[in-house]
Structure 1
Amino acid sequence: MHQTLGVVIKKHDIGEADRFLTIFTRDFGKIETTARGIRKIEAKLLGHSELFCYSHFMFSDGRTRPVLTGALAIENFSSLRSNLEKLAAAFQMTEILNDSIAGPRKDLSVWNLTLSTLK
């Protein structure tokens, strides 16, 4: 089991209830995870793993990628959702971040810049 702080930078629905999440983390860099059952109405992790959500994440090793087993939201950056210009800038920033980082590689300077930009 692994634990770290992270920000959800991309999500992609799969199947009826699952979702792939790309999370930029403080300790592991960019990781792609599977969140099983997260789209169900009673899913406990749903509000803690939305796009741009800064959370404390817990993962276990899956067969092909880590599986999200827990999350606790720290900040959801609600000011982004109420301002269209800020939201557009956040989408652009996370797209650039996702495209420019190849995989799990810790980079504290990029991590700090990402958090300060979202705030």
Structure 2
Amino acid sequence: MSLKRTLALSAVSLMLCTEVSMASSLLLPNPGQLAGDWQLYTEGDGTAPCRLQLQAPETKLGGDIECAARLIGERPSGWLVTPDTLAFVGNGGTTLVHFNRAAPNVYKWRTHDNKQLVLERITKA
């Protein structure tokens, strides 16, 4: 096999592997995977977190909604997922905030006054 042919085949293989890797990193989690108990708090604040429930399959938000409203500035009623964020939505379906995925089961959003809010899954011990 010629050197050019070998290089071409290697390049095609590398491109295919890269595409598969990139596609798998953008897999959209389904609501059932994220449903459960979560806490929302201001990083480094020390105050008690808001306890929330992400409900599926209807993607409604339960728990201490008023506490969450105080932190984000608007009252959320539901949630949705995108490949890299978890968003809270209002009654009209308008997206209020997009929490960026920081780690498995941890999402973060920076407020207009530069406070870091953390949405973290509560794991059962």
Q: TM-score interval w.r.t. the shorter chain?
A: under 0.3
TM-score (norm 1): 0.27
Normalised to the residue count of structure 2, the TM-score between the two structures is: 0.27
Which structure ranks higher in relative contact order (CA pairs < 8 Å, sequence separation ≥ 6)?
1
